[in-house]
Structure 1
Amino acid sequence: MNFAVKIVNQKSNRMLNICDAELVGRTVRQSDLDITITKSYYGDRIIDEKEAESLLRTSSIINMVGKKTIDLSIKIGIGSAKGVKEIEGVPFLIVFKF
């Protein structure tokens, strides 16, 4: 299982943008909302599940897209299924840990 990630460090916070690798480049639509899952936002590099788990645990702000990504985060106790929103069948979840 591969994930696309981009890490942004700001002062004492680490923001992790992470998605299922196969979603990079896809555009999802809902009503008048279009969201493109871009390489510049999510795809600095491709990582495996072990590294994804480590980054999920150590990041304070996490933007997640995709079933595999969100399933992993919930499995390790980060985030909740209650916060997941779907656009065109693609799940999105944002988590803040402070």
Structure 2
Amino acid sequence: MKIYIKVYRVQGEVLVAACDEELLGKTFREGELKLEVKERFYKGELKEIDVLEELLEDATIANLTGERCVKKAIDLGYVDPERVLRVQGIPHAQMAKLL
């Protein structure tokens, strides 16, 4: 399975939005938490998971949703597994690099 990746470049920041392919367009709720995997935010190019490594190197901010995206970011050392939010079992993580 692949992931959707969209890269935003705004005022010197590089934001990478990535989600597992099958989650695009879905909404998850748990208690007061709501996780929307909106197409307008995440739907960029459909790619293999390995491209995430290069994109996260350049990213100053990242929003990652889904088992594959979040696991890859954890494996690469960008996300602390203790800081991953789960909504209906779906992992979501955010990353910000302080320069």
Deviation per CA, 1:19-42, whole angstroms, max 9, x where unpaired? Answer: 111110111012244332111111
Q: Displacement of 1:48 after TM fit? A: 1.1
In the alignment, the residues of structure 1 paired with residue 83 and residue 12 of structure 2 have an alpha-carbon distance, to the nearest angstrom, of 25
What root-mean-square deviation, in Å, do the aligned CA atoms of Structure 1 and Structure 2 show?
A: 1.3
Corresponding residue number in structure 2 for 1:65: 65
The residue number in structure 1 matching 2:97 is 97
Conservation of the 8 A alpha-carbon contact between 2:34 and 2:87: no
Q: What is the number of residues matched between the two proteins?
A: 98
Q: CA deviation at 1:77?
A: 1.2
Contact kept, 8 Å, 2:33 with 2:87, in 1: the verdict is: no
| TM-score scaled by length of structure 2 | 0.90
Q: How does 1:1-98 map to 2 (within 5 A)?
A: 1-98=1-98
> 1:82: how far off?
1.1
Deviation at 1:45, TM superposition (A): 1.5
Distance of 1:34 and 1:85 partners within structure 2:
11
Displaced runs of 4 or more, over 3 A: none
What percentage of aligned pairs have identical amino acids?
A: 23
Return the letter of the residue paired with 2:64: M
CA contact (8 A) 1:65 1:92 kept: yes
TM-score of the superposed pair, with normalisation by structure 1: 0.91
Q: Which moved more, 1:19-28 or 1:32-41?
A: 32-41
Give unmatched runs, 5+ long, in structure 1.
none
Q: Deviations over 1:51-77 (max 9, x none)?
A: 121112210100111111011011111
Cα drift, residue 50 of structure 1 = 2.4
